[in-house]
Each structure stands twice: as structure tokens, then as C-alpha cells.
Structure 1
Amino acid sequence: MATLKDIAERAGVSLATVSRVLNYDNTLSVSDETRKKVIEIAQQLNYKSMRQRSSRPQPERTKIGLVYWYSQEQELADPYYMSIRLGVEKESFERKIDLVKMFKNADYQMDDWVDGLDGIIAVGKYSEGDIEQFKSMAGNIVLVDYTPSDTYDSIVVDFRKAMIQLLEYLIEQDHNQIGFIGGREFVRGDLPLKDERETTFYEFLKLRDMYIPEYVWTGNFTSEDGYKLMAEALKKPGRPSAFVVANDSMAIGALRALHEAGVKVPDEISLVSFNDIATSRFLQPSLTTVKVHTEFMGEAAVELLMEQIESKRTISKKVVVPFEIEIRESSGPVNIKITEKNAPGC
């Protein structure tokens, strides 16, 4: 029978770290990669806690499929979905649920893993055809971070409300020239998806005659594109006094571009973002960002799927996970002198 020591040796961490990870200690300061490694090794070794060993044996274990929107390489570049996945894996492990995992870009057919599934959790964005295929594999399905219709159970964040609050905060700081750096996502290769953050940015500022089309840059949701797009923005003769960036990974790249260009944050440009990944508070300057409870989203998806399986209900549910705005060092009041200097035509 596997022990904590076995897991610690394989993961290359201390016994205390393994114990705290498997007991879901939220005060533990370790990277998402380390937490992921400990949980996956525990699953591989079929480790059982004292509580699990003393509980009565179940006649049959629930088996669910977990479909990933990102490939493993993409996940490393953007920890948002990795954190959701860790939440799914932790909750499944705690509930003794058999979890079958598959990345979107895996080289094997879905038929290889669909036998006997009680339900599916699909993390990310999928076409209607994809979702119908998942539905045919298992009658119960929960979508995470996506809600194409009211037909399916889903776990989402109200990004529209979060964007409005961010923009209201910047306007309260006297910013009236605000830029946006975001990304594009696609299903089935070439079908673009609407990004609620970008749409809300446009609608909110347009109603106030503050929207400037030249102050919007989009690419991929990666640090590399955040860096590239900010570098492009800085080449313009006039530039915003503040930027809203669609996620923290892009914001990290944007901060690097600003640093290399000698632009002081927030004295010359304020920067705000989304997600509050683990490194956001340790950046220099620390990042003002919308805290999204990604790991909780994964846990809630397992709870919702199990409730769906056990209740056999036919009416769908949508769970909207709350958020908070973490005000840190990367944003502040507008510097009027610098804003006038960088205004278009100056």
C-alpha cells in the first residue's frame, strides 16, 4: 500500500508538503506544478488516506471523463486551465471517483476511453458538435468556463461584471484613455469565439464616448503575445494611460515590454488584468488583477456533475463563481503631465 513517503520520494518534496497538498491546505505556498505532480503521483500509486481506508467499501466507483481544452504545452503557458484541472482532480480524488483524462490534441481516438463513463467534465471552449459528441458518450455533462446555451450544466465566471468593475476603477483614477490587450480563441480550428472581456470593454467605453479602436490589440493568450502586443502599442505616437489585459500571462509579457522600454508602471501606464495566478502578487510591480477562483471552479464542476448523476434531473444549472478585484502596485491615479505628453499628436 502506497505511503506519503513513497509519494514524497517520487515527487522530490518533503513529507509535510505531500500531507498538506493531499489535505488541501490552502495556506501552503507551493507552485501549481508541484501540487499537480503530488496529486497525480498519489493517483498513480492509488494512495488512500486514513479516512478513506477506514470508510466502508463502495460497491462500485463512479467513473467520469475529463476533457481538456488546452494541450499540455498550452497549459504550461497559461496556468488558468491548469488550476481548474487541479480542482477537478483534487475533488475526484477526495470523492474516490475514477477520473479518465484526455487532452484536446491527444493522438488517440475518444473510443479508447469512453467505455462505462457516468459523466463528462469538459474544461474550455467546444463547438456544438463536440458537446453533442460528449453527450453521446455519457448522458451527464458539465461545461467549465463556457456556456453556449441553457441546455447544459456549466460553471462560469461573470467576466462582464468583472470588466465593468475594472473599468469603473480606472475611470475613478481619472484614466480616460484606456487600451485593451486580449486574445482570440477558436473552435474547430477556425471558428472564432466571442470574448466577453473584449465585448464588454467595447460596449462600456462606447456608451461613454471613450472607446478608441486604435487602442485595442489582440493575439494569443500567452506571455509572448502580451510582450509583442505591448511593444507594438508603445510604438504609437499616442498611447493609453492605462491598459486592461485579458489575463495575467499576457500581463507578465506586457510588463516586460514596458520595463524594457523604460516605461514606469504605474507612474506612466497603469496595468490591470484577470485571473490572479500565483505569480501575480510577486511581480515587480505586483499586478492589479481580478481574482478568479479557478481551483474552486474545478471542484464545483465535480460536485455539480455528481449531483446531476445522483438526482437524474433534466433541468440544467449554471453556477456563477464570484470574483474579487485585487488592487496592487501596477495601477494608480493618472499622471496628468505624462498623459498630456503622450496624447495623440504630441
Structure 2
Amino acid sequence: MGVTIKEVAKAAGVAPSTVSRVIADHPRISPATKKKVKKAMKEMGYHPNANARGLANRSTQSLGVVMPSSANKALQNPFFPEVLRGISAVAHQLDYSILLSTGEKDEEMLEGVERMVYANRVDGIILLYSQVNDPVLHFLLEKDFPFVVIGKPSERVDEITHVDNDNIRSGKNITNHLIDLGHENIAFIGGSTDLIVTIDRMRGYQLAIEEAGLPYLEEYRVHTEFLKSGGSQAVSELFNLPKPPTGLVIADDLMSIGVINMLEEFGMLVPEDVSIVSFNNVYLSEVTRPPLTTVDIHIYELGYQAAKCLIDKVKNKLEPAKRIIVPFTIELRQSAQSREKTLNE
């Protein structure tokens, strides 16, 4: 027989109604009480599955959205406000509200998602990321809870509805742009190798480099955060090499801005000394100096399509898994120039 709310209440020294309020994340329950009750629940192996089943037929008219890292850090990157704009457009049209969940670590993100599911706070969830061995994805699959991934799932791709770009092809195409400009020493700056978007964009970079007969060097691959500070750190590593690169493929526009700023500190200019190409085409791409040559992944459309797919799944549990690929385009601007022109200047 499973553990009951009364048993959890007794172990935590609170009333059963308090346990129910903690499960529902009631704002009037103090953080100390919540911590005490959650500790008892964890130690006793209690999960309010019965509560969730009892409420399963009630619609909350809410969609959960899970962002990687804290909101403070994630929202520094213009990708997230733009993808949320796309999600919000559909939610507004169909009278849904949005509940954001974040976390610095996998455990915190999982706890936030568990609260949303067990307390019946949302009808479905959109993951704004895709990573290897993701406990949140495993939990949602186990509970058969409606969810959609923005990005390519790391496993069971055919069973999970996801909205993505062809990041391998875009990575190859944007790298080929630098190769066509005559660059031979081309480095890649990406995010964590746990993120599928980094893996795919780097794979495209690798294919272009190898097909051109250029060296695919480990020291030319740097992985850091999708932030300006991450780009700055990467420059320090790459431009202290005996043979620094003349071209950079950078997996995120915000990182590119950090790279440009740090190159200036090194006394180098873009594109006169180093050519840069990037991804995402956020609003900063056009106003930075120089404007960035970048892959436009149509972020708004990613969010819009993800929300549509999720609401379809919420309304029909038998809705088959979909794979929607949003086309990309390449915006050619002033951050990359021919190697020959660089040598002549």
C-alpha cells in the first residue's frame, strides 16, 4: 500500500491540509514548512499520483514552459524572449496562460516540472532546450504527460513531438561561407556539448571542414555558455594559440557580441583581422558593429509551432508525434570578408 498524505503530515508534524497546499505550491505556506514537507515526501517516497489522476480531466488552460538555467541568466539571451513571443501569440489566440519554470541545475528543473504535473497546474509543457540524458524529458515520458521539445530530442526522436531547424545543414552552410571566402583556419565556439543544438551545429561545421580538406583541430573547438561572457572566454583560449584562427563559427549571436568586444581588447577588428559567422539572427545581430552574418532560425516561428503542437496534444491525447522543421536562411552582413582582402589590408 502506498504512502498517504496523512502519513506524510504526521512525519512532517503538520496537518494533512498543509501537505495538500505544499503539493499545490500554495503561496501562503512558508518556505520553511514547504522544505520540511518536501523532505518528508522525498524520504517516504511519496508522489501525489492519485491527485494528478483525479484532476486529469480538468483543463487548467495553462501551458508550462521550461527554460534552462535561471530566468535571470536565460533572459539575458534574446533567443528566449523571442521564442516566448511566438508561444504567447498562440496561447493568447486560444485563451491559454503561460507558467514559466527554470532551474540552475537538472534537479531544480525536474522539481519545478514535477510540481507543475503533480499539482495539475498546467495542461502540457514546452521544453525550450534539448540535452543529452535529460531527467525532465524522462519524467514526462514516464508520466505520459503532454509535452513538446524545441530542438531535437536526444532519444526516441520518432516518439516525441519536436520543433527544430536542420542545425547540421545550417552549420555546414555557414561554415562553407567562410571557406568560400578563403579562410582555412576556422574555429568553432559553441555551448555545452550536453546540448543537442551544439552537437548538431558542430557536426555541420565538422562536415564542411573535412569536405574542404581542412584540419579538424581539437584546439579550434571551444565550449562555453550562450552569453557574452562565454564569447569573451573563448577568445582568450583561441587567440593565445600559436596559430590562431582567421575565421570563427559561433553557435549563438550573443556569444558573438562577447567575441567582438574581446577581440577589440586584443587589438583585433572584425572583419579586418577575424571574420565571424553566427546563429539565431536575434535583434542585436543587425545593430552590433559590424552587423553579424548569421543563420536566421526564425525563433518566433519555433515558439509559435511548438505551442500549436502542444495544444493539439492537450486536446487529443492520441495525436501522433510530429517533427516540424522550421526552414533557416542565412543573412549576409559585414562580419565576414574574404581572406584575400584581409591579407591585403
TM-score bracket, normalised by the shorter chain, equals 0.7 to 0.9
Distance 1:104 1:237, change over 3 A: same
Q: Deviations over 1:98-129 (max 9, x none)?
A: 32321134696545433444322122125354
- Amino acid corresponding to residue 142 of structure 1 in structure 2: V
**2-structure distance, mates of 1:252, 1:129:** 32
Distance 1:135 1:65, change over 3 A: farther
- Among 172, 181, 195, the alignment partner of 1:173 is 181
**2-structure distance, mates of 1:151, 1:83:** 27
**1-structure distance, mates of 2:342, 2:98:** 57
- RMSD (Å) for aligned C-alpha atoms: 2.7
Q: TM-score, normalised by structure 2?
A: 0.72
2:69 is paired with a residue whose SS is: coil
Unmatched tracts of structure 2, length 5 or more? 1-57
1:100 is paired with a residue whose SS is: strand
**2-structure distance, mates of 1:225, 1:238:** 21
More helix by share: 2
5 Å-filtered alignment, 1:32-71, equals 62-71=61-70
The equivalent residue for 2:165 is: 157
5 Å-filtered alignment, 1:14-93, equals 62-93=61-92
Distance 1:92 1:136, change over 3 A: farther
% identical equivalent positions: 23
The equivalent residue for 1:199 is: 203
- Amino acid corresponding to residue 215 of structure 2 in structure 1: Y
- Amino acid corresponding to residue 169 of structure 1 in structure 2: H
- Among 132, 135, 140, the alignment partner of 1:134 is 140
Distance 1:267 1:90, change over 3 A: same
Contact 1:64–1:119, Cα closer than 8 Å, also in 2:
yes
Shift in Å, 1:134: 2.2
Q: Deviations over 1:153-195 (max 9, x none)?
A: 00111111111111222222122221112221548xxxx9861
Shift in Å, 1:314: 4.8
**2-structure distance, mates of 1:193, 1:322:** 15
The equivalent residue for 1:147 is: 153
Distance 1:71 1:90, change over 3 A: farther
Distance 1:137 1:68, change over 3 A: farther
User: Is 1:241 matched with 2:241?
Assistant: no
- Amino acid corresponding to residue 182 of structure 2 in structure 1: D
Contact 1:267–1:334, Cα closer than 8 Å, also in 2:
no
Unmatched tracts of structure 1, length 5 or more? 1-58, 342-346
Q: TM-score, normalised by structure 1?
A: 0.72
How many pairs align? 278
The equivalent residue for 2:6 is: none
Shift in Å, 1:293: 1.1
Distance 1:221 1:110, change over 3 A: closer
1:335 is paired with a residue whose SS is: helix
Q: Deviations over 1:226-249 (max 9, x none)?
A: 112113322223222211111111
More strand by share: 1
The equivalent residue for 1:309 is: 314
Distance 1:268 1:75, change over 3 A: same
Distance 1:86 1:246, change over 3 A: same
The equivalent residue for 1:54 is: none
Contact 1:274–1:292, Cα closer than 8 Å, also in 2:
yes
Contact 1:65–1:101, Cα closer than 8 Å, also in 2:
yes
Q: Deviations over 1:299-346 (max 9, x none)?
A: 11111112223344353110011111111111111136739x9xxxxx
**2-structure distance, mates of 1:218, 1:232:** 10
The equivalent residue for 2:192 is: 184
Larger radius of gyration: 2
- Amino acid corresponding to residue 316 of structure 1 in structure 2: A
- Amino acid corresponding to residue 293 of structure 1 in structure 2: H
